[in-house]
Amino acid sequence: MRIADMNWMQIEEYLKADDRCVLPTGSTEQHACLSLCVDAILAERVAVEAAEPLGVPVYPAMPFGCSPYFSYFSAFPGTVSIRVETLLAVTRDVIGSMYSSGFRRIMIVNGHGGNAAIGNLCRELMAELPEISLKFHNWWSGPRVMAKAEEIAPNPSHANWFENFPWTRLADVSIPSDEKAIVDITRLKLSAPAHVRELLGDGSFGGAYQMSDADMTELWTVGVEETRNELEQPW
């Protein structure tokens, strides 16, 4: 269930029987030909599809993330990055509000590698609030998802086939059918944003741009199932 489709009275009633909820976290950054909001779109969608059969409420995805590793994306218009301390402060306040509402088991479904610090925050909050149980789940890097990705094609990476789903594509934007040379990540880390844009070109890290929708549907199904399993496991 999406929180957007519920009112406060329904949440109050839900909390009489269950204390779980889901918070998707993502980012807004360049993804080559795909939507700037790929990470947020995927995190929220996988969370909703995983939680729906269980009746667990899912909050809207946090759309902005921390990209210290990808700060060189700042030369690509539309990219937004917030500081680590900002990300953690906002997440702490959001979880605090959920706790005040009565939620005690909160799962963060993360769609952006730059948000890894939230995992450490979860451990801190559980030490501060013994009644709360927090799970931090990188849906895209779960063992089952990665195993399935490796079956489909090599080099699952940023803005290539690995993130190219029907719901992250843009209408009237053509996706290249060829493969791009793999980018030297080490060189990117040592480059200023303007030079990074020159090195990346369209923004993809390289590899194939797309796979068949059948392959991507199989990958997505694994991602949803693995996320749902995390929700169902003991807390």
Q: So where are the chain's domains?
A: 3-229
Q: What pLDDT digit, counting tens, does each position of 58-97 carry?
A: 999 999 999 765 567 889 999 999 999 999 999 999 999 9
Pairing status of strand 207-208 against strand 133-138:
unpaired
| Tens digits of residue pLDDT in 129-145 | 989 999 999 999 999 99
The answer, yes or no, to whether residue 192 has pLDDT greater than 90, is no
What angle (nearest 5°) sits at the alpha carbon of residue 1, between those of residues 36 and 117? Answer: 50
The one-character DSSP state at 178 is S
Percentage of the chain with pLDDT > 90? 89
Mean pLDDT of the 6-25 span: 98
What confidence tier does 162 reach under pLDDT thresholds 50, 70, 90?
very high
Residue with tokens 């902005």: 64
Instruction: Tell me what the mean pLDDT of segment 95-101 comes to.
Output: 97
C-alpha to C-alpha distance for 154 and 208, rounded to whole angstroms: 9
Total H helices, total E strands in the chain: 8, 5
To the nearest whole number, what is the mean pLDDT of the chain?
Answer: 95
The tokens for 22 are 């889901």
- Please compute the mean of the pLDDT values over residues 152-156 and round it to a whole number: 95
CA distance 42 to 24: 9
Shortest CA distance to 25 belongs to which of 90, 87, 110? Answer: 110
Model confidence at 150: pLDDT above 60:
yes
Give the containing element (helix H, strand E) for 138.
Answer: strand 133-138
Which fold would CATH assign to domain 3-229?
Answer: Rossmann fold (3.40.50)
The overall pTM is greater than 0.85: yes
User: What's the token pair of residue 111?
Assistant: 């769609």
